Structure 1
Amino acid sequence: MNLTVRELADWVGGEVLGDGTVPIRAARTLSEAGPGDITFVDGDRNLTAWRESHASAAIVTAVVPLNGRPLIRVTDPLAAFATVVLQLRGNQNKSRTGKIDPTAHIDASAVLGPGTTVGPYVVIGAETVIGAGCHIHAGVSIGQSCRLGDAVELYPNVVLYDDCILGDRVIVHANSVIGADGFGYRMQGGRHIKSPQLGRVELADDVEIGACSTIDRGTFGATRIGVGTKIDNLVQIAHNCQIGKHNLIVSQVGIAGSSTTGDYVVVAGQAGVGDHINVGDRAIIGAKAGLSKDVPAGAKMLGAPAHPDIEQKKIWMSMAKLPEMRKEIRRIKKKIGLEDE
């Protein structure tokens, strides 16, 4: 598909600077773009790369000056570039046909909203209600009495156990499991006896769950994920957790049972949160940190066991000096006539 810079600007509501008749055949990033391509420059940190790029045009912010090639000026170049990429590829939502594949098994008591697409070999249980404009990809299994809002997307092989509740515009990526039993056992007569796992999982509006992540149902109540929270791949959230709004939880994080987070919390990759721990609003938990106690609002935690970031950096600096300190101690002992043990 060949379009002009001006036609692309019309798609994104941008202002054209320079020759708007330059033809564009594809949209590529700065490192990959060549003649005939449009790219994007998000702020002044990429100005050198833009000058060196062979791209024919760019989508930019106001800080990017003209350099002889046409620009499309917008407030959010990344979002505008994504729109252009999708348009040039052709509408990626053509698969949202509202059709139901004949191999899908849908219980007669289930209700599907208008425009919902159901792919091959999907299973939808009794009394489940699915909203409008949803896309249920191949191999998804949805249990009984689930409630899904509008525009939900479940990628291949997602599993929703019974009684799960998903808000509007929830996205769950491939092979994730929502609502499995929590890991709860009691010791009786020398054996581990399973504790009841009778609650559910609730994902609020605009939650996104990465591939191969798991969120366990509550023991009696609900495990909840707050509005707008984004969870990466390979994350485990245990039973009874209450995750706040607009959290970012990065890959391989594990959050143990009955822990809570406030709003706008960031938990970086491979961090571990112990059970019954509260993490306050806007706290940041560094990569591989291990939390064994509550974290106040706004704190930045590093290390395992985790300490406030300034304290932990001092600990790391001290550890780096240990070999030198050990040599110095040996010299002092030798000088005063003490033998090493």
Structure 2
Amino acid sequence: MVSYLFRRLVVAFCVCIAVSMLSFGLMFMAGDPSIAIAGQGGSAADAEAVRAAYGFDRPFLVQYLDWIGSALLGDFGQSIYFHIPVTEIIGNRLPVTLQLGALSFGLALVLAVPLGIAAALKPNGLVDRLALVLAVTGQAVPSFWLGLMAIVVFGVWYGLVPISGADTWRGYILPVVVLTYSALPAMMRITRSGMIDVLAADYIRTAYAKGLPLRIVVLRHALRNAVLPLVSLAAVQLGILLSGSIVIESVFALNGLGRLAWESLLRADLPVVQAIILILSLVYVVLTTASDLLNAMLDPRIRGAR
């Protein structure tokens, strides 16, 4: 286990280095950032002044090392648009995204696992068919359309919940439901397929032959092996919910990190964009590494794989 842990941490470290370089260099790939900051009405002299003020005239490697060194200390520079530290802006917006993503992920996981198990126990049964309908519609319906329909029906027509903002907990109801419905199908289907494969294994038939009740066979023997692919998928889904909620945050007027990223791109606020890309990318790396380690704990065969 120690050897496996060391290998995974080395890989994660290398990925973090690559991600940080891409995060920093991404803004330069689209062109000269000094021109974007100077604006459409800016002259060549204005662009040159911006280039000198922000250090864009230095070698790329020097700029990167200076940026990543400050980022490791929690300093991502100042926002070009707001003229305040980037960490302060992200700190104000991050709680909304974290709450939205965590609530949606938790609700999707709580619903997906029981539905997937129930569908696998009786393939082609009523629950399985209902789960299939839920999965197909959840993957086919765009989240922004579902969000708009939810606003019209539950917010405008019936006035049950707020249609925008997150001043109270009721403001999270509609966006959490929409995000949950988008994340639910993939986790439910992989739970179902994994359970069907495991329930057909010889050791499961042996467990039934020994007289073990269905609850013990499913939860103690089958689910542990069937959940391995779900762990990896859940890590990806959580990363998507945390970083890909820009559409939902825009539809429901939530001041989260996704909406901040979109606004910063429109304003050419490069320090904010770079910080958001780096933070969300590192979240993906941490989640996928944690899922690999959890799978290794659940399945000893993974720890011995080379």
- Scaled by the length of structure 2, the TM-score of the pair is 0.24
Name which one, 1 or 2, has greater alpha-carbon Rg: 1
Report which structure shows greater RCO (CA 8 Å, sep ≥6): 2
- Scaled by the length of structure 1, the TM-score of the pair is 0.23
Structure number with the higher helix fraction is 2
